[in-house]
Amino acid sequence: MRQSPRCGAKTRKGTRCQAPALSGKTRCRMHGGATGSGAPRGNQNALKHGLYTKEALAQRKHVRDLLRKGKELIEKM
């Protein structure tokens, strides 16, 4: 048991977790090595508001560029 590889997770203290990693995994059962841990496939919770979609980011960048160009134009006048 003492020779088994240890979990690679970082604790709040900043040190590595001392629990043994599950066989064939790099994490212990408490840090995501257990079967079924983590978010389900196709998790739709991340798409709740659409604030960070590619389209929304591109639109905000376009608006920033337009505002910057408008300010430069006003300064030239």
Residue 28 φ/ψ, nearest 5 degrees: -80, 180
Question: CB–CB of 6/18 below 8 Å?
Answer: yes
Question: Quick check: is 11 in a domain?
Answer: no
- Domain residues for 59? 51-76
The closest of 9, 30, 7 to 20, measured between CA atoms, is 7
Whole-structure pTM over 0.85, yes or no?
no
pLDDT digits (tens, 9 = 90+) for 5-43: 999 898 889 998 999 988 888 888 888 877 777 677 777
What is the residue-averaged pLDDT of the chain? 86
Give a yes or no: residue 55 inside a domain: yes
In a domain, 1, yes or no: no
CA distance 5 to 25: 9
